[in-house]
Amino acid sequence: MFAFEFSEILDATELLLTLVYWVLMLLIAGICMAVFEKFTPYDDRQELLNGNVAVGTQFAGKLIGLGIITQASIAHNLSIWGAAIWILIGFVLMIAGYYLFELVTPFKAEDEIRKNNVAVAIVAAAVSIFIGFAVAGSIT
C-alpha cells in the first residue's frame, strides 16, 4: 500500500542541480545585496546592529523582491546561466525603481530611513517587492 521507490520522489541529479542552483543563487544574491549597500548613503550593517527597524524593513523588502525575481528566473529558464542573467537584470531594475521612488517622493527617503522612519521604510520595502513581482511577471 505504501511501497514506493525513493527514486520516484527524489532523483540524485535533481538534488545535485538544486544544490548547484542554491549555491550560485545565494552567491548572486549576496553580491546584489552588497551592491545595494553601496547605493545607500549609510552603513546598512551598522544601522542594523544599532537596531534601526526602518533600515531592517527596507533591507528585508529588497531581499524579498530579489527572492521573487530569483524564483521566476529559475522557473522560467532552462539554464542556470539564463537564470543568473535575469536575476542581474531584475537587480538593475530594482535599483532604477528605487531611484525613481526617491525622485518622486517629496522628501529624501534615505534620510528618513536613516532616522528610523518606519513608515517610509515600509513603503520603500513595498516598492522593492512590487518591482520584484513586476520583473518576475515579465520573465517568460
Q: How does 73-85 read in b/e, with b if 16+ C-beta sit within 10 Å?
A: bbeebeeeeebbe
**Which DSSP string corresponds to 35-65?**
HHHHHSSS-HHHHHHTT-HHHHHHHHHHHHH
Q: State the pLDDT at residue 7.
A: 67
Predicted confidence band of residue 18 (pLDDT cuts 50, 70, 90): confident
Q: What is d(CA 26, CA 7) in angstroms, rounded to the nearest whole number?
A: 27
Across 3-15, average pLDDT: 76
Q: State the pLDDT at residue 122.
A: 97
In the chain, where the domains are located: 42-138
- Mind listing the pLDDT tens digit for each residue in 37-81? 888 888 889 999 999 999 999 999 999 999 999 999 999 988 889
* DSSP state at residue 107: S
Across 101-105, average pLDDT: 91
3-state class of 9 per DSSP?
helix
Q: State the pLDDT at residue 41.
A: 86
- Mind listing the pLDDT tens digit for each residue in 84-94? 999 999 999 99
pTM: 0.84
Quick check: 86 and 77 in contact, CB under 8 A? yes
Within 8 A by CB and 6+ apart from 122, the residues are 57
Dihedral in degrees, nearest 10, Cα atoms 39, 44, 46, 48: 170
